[in-house]
Amino acid sequence: MSNAETSPIHAKVVVIGSGPAGYTAAIYAARAMLQPILISGFDAGGQLMITTDVENYPGFADPIQGPWLMEQMRAQAEHVGARLVSDHVTQVELGQRPFKITGDSGQVYTADSLIIATGAKAQWLGETSEEKFKGFGVSACATCDGFFFRGKKVAVVGGGNSAVEEALYLSHIAEKVTLIHRRDSLRSERILQERLFARPNIEIRWDSAVDEILGSEAPLSVEALRIKNVKTGATETLPLDGVFIAIGHKPATELFAGQIELKSNGYIKTAPDSTATNIEGVFAAGDVADDKYRQAVTAAGLGCMAALEAERWLAAKHG
């Protein structure tokens, strides 16, 4: 932080976050001549920066790299006139007008309207072997990566709705799905459990936790999963090709806690069919508010909605 006080930078629209939602919001706001500022944060590009092959983003016949797609979105936002700032937001004050945003650099930004697109991150087990094989057989998104495991054997780790939904999704693609759960009963909704138990190619390992993910070095690929029974301590090695971690996602809402209405699971609550939050002039787009789909294309769509709603709100309030 500099000793000299820098004067605040004002914008009609400030976008916090730089995944598909943030970049799309900036593109639409810039094209509406609102001269938005996008504050990208330390993790510029969001979750797609750790995604290798992207096959489900429309417009590309061949697989593309997640980081490349984010670079293109960034360049597009700059090209149409958005101002991109490589700062990390440390404080947001929503109780005043204009809204006040403070960066790690010490720079203060003020905004007539704010678009929150800070995203969410998959929660991981924290195992060394898990980190090693991320993107090489270890994933946290079945709808993103399930396609690569057609006719193969996979495991899903978890016991809530996310885990059961991932297992059900994968059961239509993979030859066999093994659900690994550290308890003796699932936490998911009853109807999901019934569907799970009815699937002939899903097997459940109760009272079990991941001990180590095993695989080859060159090329990096998962070959087996060693699990440990939490009651008996016995270990078992399952030969398989992929491991999906489904123990939940954590939205990046720490900056806004106590200032904005959140859902019970920590995601920002928005009005139905809208990105509007409970604070006028504040909109939330992408995975920070979307606990249902969590896809790059839906995040981009929500970023578009947020920019259009911010534009309309500004026109109504400020002319």
pLDDT in tens, 22-45: 999 999 999 999 999 999 987 788
Q: For the CA atoms of 182, 125, 147, 303, what is the dihedral angle to 10 degrees?
A: 120
Tell me the pairing of strands 64-65 and 153-157.
unpaired
- Residue 173: C-alpha distances to residues 202, 276, 317 (Å): 12, 37, 50
CA distance 258 to 279: 12
**144 flagged as catalytic:** yes
Tokens of 154: 């996979």
Catalytic residue among 104, 141, 207, 211: 141
Long-range contacts of 29-34 (CB under 8 A, 24+ apart): 29/82, 29/115, 29/307, 29/310, 29/311, 30/77, 30/80, 30/81, 30/82, 31/80, 31/81, 32/307, 32/311, 33/81, 34/307, 34/310, 34/311, 34/314
Rounded mean pLDDT of the chain? Answer: 94
Q: pLDDT exceeding 70 applies to what percent of the chain?
A: 98
Q: What is the reported pLDDT for 55?
A: 87
**Is 304 tagged catalytic?**
no
CA distance 318 to 312: 10
pLDDT beyond 90 at 96: yes
Q: At what angle do helices 296-318 and 20-31 cross, to 10 degrees?
A: 40
pLDDT at position 144 is 87
pLDDT tens readout for residues 173-227: 999 999 999 999 999 989 999 999 999 999 999 999 999 999 999 899 999 999 9
Give the model's pLDDT for residue 319.
Answer: 64
Q: Can you point out the beta strands (E) in 118-263?
A: 120-122, 138-139, 153-157, 176-180, 202-205, 208-216, 221-229, 235-239, 242-245, 249-251
pLDDT at 48 over 90: no
Residue 197 has what pLDDT?
A: 97
- Told to judge if 145 belongs to the known catalytic residues of this protein, a careful annotator would answer yes
Q: Which is the catalytic residue, given 87, 145, 241, 290? A: 145
- Judge whether residue 1 has pLDDT over 50: no
pLDDT in tens, 147-173: 999 999 999 999 998 899 999 999 999
Predicted pLDDT of residue 207: 98
- What confidence score (pLDDT) does residue 59 get? 97
Catalytic residue (one of 87, 144, 241, 287): 144
**Of 233, 245, 190, whose CA–CA distance to 208 is shortest?**
233
Angle between helices 66-79 and 20-31 (to 10 degrees): 20
Banded pLDDT at 3 (limits 50, 70, 90): very low
